[in-house]
Structure 1
Amino acid sequence: MYRVWNFLTNYSLLLIIGAVLALIWANTNPDTYHHFVEFVIWDHAPIGHYHDGHRTLTLHYLVNDVFMALFFAIAAKEVWEAVVLEDGSLRGKKAATPLFATAGGMFGPIGVYLGLALFLGSDTYNAVANGWAIPTATDIAFSYLVGRIVFGAGHPAVRFLLLLAIADDAAGLIILAIFYPSGDLAPIWLLASFGAAAGVFILFNWLPRKLDAGNELRPNSTWVRKNLHFVPYAIAGCISWYGFMRSGLHPALGLLPVVPAIPHADRAFGFFSDAESHLHDLLNVMEHALKHPVEVVLFFFGLLNAGVEFSAIGDATWLVLAGLIIGKPVGILLFGWVAAVPLRLGIPQGMRIIDLVVIGFVAAIGFTVSLFVASVAFDAGPVQDAAKMGALFSFGAAIISIVAGKLLRVNKIELQAAE
């Protein structure tokens, strides 16, 4: 269990601590908590929330809109490698059934969320409808951890779950960009974002390799890597982020265009793999350099977003939970079965169709991304707080997953090297 605990402390513990502290603080002294969250760092700033003709940089904006861009960049890096590399986990027939299951894991929660909201009446539906994407999220880190506990590190369902979670993240990034703009759309500003990405790729990635063609010593590429390192990409990232902010798209996605421009290895060992620490391409080096800073960012993200008073529990809480705990397993089972049986795409050897139900419960842990979507889907107030509470309560899916694994007689498979 040492490596499981090591994984938890590396990727999740600070986030949990931040969320727990926020809950305690918000329920013991809500006034000071909300004053802390909305603390003004810089009024009339060049970045920040736009109101009354000027921008204000608050602590909440700094974490959610600026620093969380690093978190989404790491997620985008894993998605990018999974899609474009020859041995990427989201390429070919091996990814077909997980991708179908991912679609089910999104349409199922949306159907349950909106269907139940409509059943509760038009007033409730109108109040909560914009939060339809909240229960589509899957928290990769926590789901992976719980999946290892339920199935064992060596079970093929763990890899299936990981593929599903990565694809879910990719879809979530698209949903955030399209359906949850941060302001009035001004797409002309995206020229700055994609121009910066294209420029840094051509000048500092493609051109040095082109000049080094046929020269095994690769002098130009080596000079760029040794002397400039990540600096051109950091500058391009800042320009891209600013372009996203001014375009009206959520600025937390602002680094995404630059990620594909960074030199990367011709293979990936997989999300959370220790082996990737031995890859020395710039993209992996930058990812691992950001690991600890992003952990700190996630602590503050939990602290600034999970502070919800228990009195805020309402319709949105139960709709988010129903979407996750009912919609996820039903959708994943239905779409996964269609892919595996009628379409004959199959499932990994050693997995059963019924295991898709357990995978669905594990994937119902929304937490980080669900919290983030709730914060952009609704204005600050009781509906947002109620939806956030649903995202926090989705931790209960971990217990349901363990119980379901026992009831459905999951064949737990351990790998001695993984423990």
Structure 2
Amino acid sequence: MHASISAAVTGHPRRRPEAEALAASQPGLDFEVVEDPEPDGPRSALRVARLAWRGADPGCTHRLLVQDDMRLAPGFARLVRAAVAAQPDSVLCLFTEWGSRTAPAVRLAALAGAGWVPLLDPYVPTTAVVLPTAVAHALAAFPAEPGEPDDVLLLRFARANGLTPLVSCPNLAEHEQGDSLVGNDVLMGPRRSALFGGPPGDWSRVLVPPMVPHLPLFEGVVVCQVPDGDGWRSVLADAFLAPSGLTVPDLLERYAETVARADPTGRLRRVVADSLLLQLWLAAFCYGIAAWAVLGDAGAVERALRSVRGAAALRTLAPGALRRFVPVHRLGALPGRVEPLLRQAISDGCLHAVRIGDQFWKESLQ
């Protein structure tokens, strides 16, 4: 189809220079700037989102919304038009932060060459999103629950209308550092992209992995997310792995062997507590299992991890999971320090999946 896009940068009047600079950076999309109509009122992204949804040009097929604290990938206009043409009926999210539930799925898509994964989070990241124009107009009138933010309202709307939002691989937008108007930078730490920029995946392909491992930001204990009807459910990683013959003592022994090789001097464990490093190792081990399930070959997994996309995706795993627990000034060096541990864990998980085979999935997912 021929996609035509009306575009807007949304923000607060106090960030008008940033919004105008972002709009000017994409002359091919003719961005307008939409500002909060009640800048002195209680902080809420929904007020400006309503205006931006309502302002979608009825003569265009789609509405693109980008918040004023985002940075867009090189070639953004061309890439977003190609993405919309390939998935014209979907809600398209062009960003997910590196610690989200969806982020590990994006990393798997990077290995597989897919352009999209389904959203796994309990909100739609509205920082950079494309909506069919009819959806934008319907959202403008969709009633909100008391205190409901725009990202949760959008997910509730999507579920009510049988829509599954898709998240791009790679992300086409990056979150810039700065003070959040609603305090998210303090609550959650830096929120960088799971995989920003680089060659696009196949925009026609949506990858739905049979399992997506995740180290939750607040709980700090790995879960395996598995498809469950129209959504996803989370299973503790040790419970997911148990049918494959791995007990908790087995996992502790495997971790101890790996960390002894990857961190013989204990330098890494002076930055990341052993208990959290265990969970990071477990997330990577499960990532290896999921990667094998997606690619079906251990050699293909190793090659994909060495690719530009695969390596870039792996670099965001540790800082995304640990940014609330590791000081910000140490996050930049963290990927390099944990890479030997993560690569060994992924390799071990992949080899475990090879040994168990398809029967593992049949038993684990019941």
- Give the TM-score of the pair, scaled to structure 1: 0.28
Q: Which structure features the higher share of helix residues?
A: 1
Q: Which structure features the higher share of strand residues?
A: 2
Higher relative contact order (CA 8 A, sep 6+): 1
- Give the TM-score of the pair, scaled to structure 2: 0.31
